[in-house]
Amino acid sequence: MTSKVVENELEFYSKAEKYWKDVPATVDGMLGGYGHISSIDINSSRKFLQRFLRDGPNRTGTTRALDCGAGIGRITKRLLLPLFKTVDMVDVTEDFLTKAKSYLGEEGRRVRNYFCCGLQDFSPEPNSYDVIWIQWVIGHLTDNHLSDFLKRCRAGLRPNGIVVIKDNMAQEGVIMDDVDSSVCRDLDVVHKIIRRAGLHLLAEERQENFPDEIYHVYTFAMR
């Protein structure tokens, strides 16, 4: 658990904020030099998400989505705006959200809100979102803050809405990355946090065709 590897919570968060302030506001910057995997990532995410958007009595709506840890809007632009009427973005780095306004182009007019905030302090508007997408950012939250944030996300869902996490998974335990001040959890730890937040796992999938040298990446859908 993160309590074993995060010695100073305030420092954990401030170091991460400082790290991201120095990262270029580009797709390559968002992906830590792995910009070339962006299309593979987006295509897999689209297939994963569309199974919930198909016709049926429990179909997830397409009115509004929230992109958490949105950066310059890579996921908003290529995954969420093509599928949803409006999108909100939240990120801790103001420069990224400023850059997003030009990066998103004309379609960016359908982004309603740009929230500059750490997820540990962010509360989605209750009963507002069909999909809350949380990608490559849960490592910047302690276990308690992640569980609490997921509880707030649950309250932010519209009927049949889903929360999606897509992130790196460690082979075992919790690994600290001192460079960007983040943690990487194993599947078992993530499952426990999801359950603690009162969410029910609907689907889980391992990302294919990513470079061998990076962590395994998993996508979870829950409500």
List binding-site positions.
69, 74, 91-93, 119-120, 135
Q: What element of type H or E holds 21? A: helix 9-21
The answer to whether residues 95 and 25 touch, using CB atoms and an 8 Å cutoff, is yes
- CA–CA distance, 148 with 109 (Å, rounded to integer): 31
How many CB atoms neighbour CB 160 within 10 A? 14
Name the residue with tokens 């973005």. 89
How many CB atoms neighbour CB 181 within 10 A? 20
Residue 149 phi, psi (nearest 5): -65, -40
- CA–CA distance, 151 with 132 (Å, rounded to integer): 12
Which residues carry a binding-site annotation for S-adenosyl-L-methionine?
69, 74, 91-93, 119-120, 135
The answer to whether residues 168 and 216 touch, using CB atoms and an 8 Å cutoff, is yes
Q: Strand 111-116 to strand 201-206: parallel, antiparallel, or no bridges (unpaired)?
A: unpaired
- How far, rounded to the nearest angstrom, does the alpha carbon of residue 176 sit from its chain's CA centroid? 19
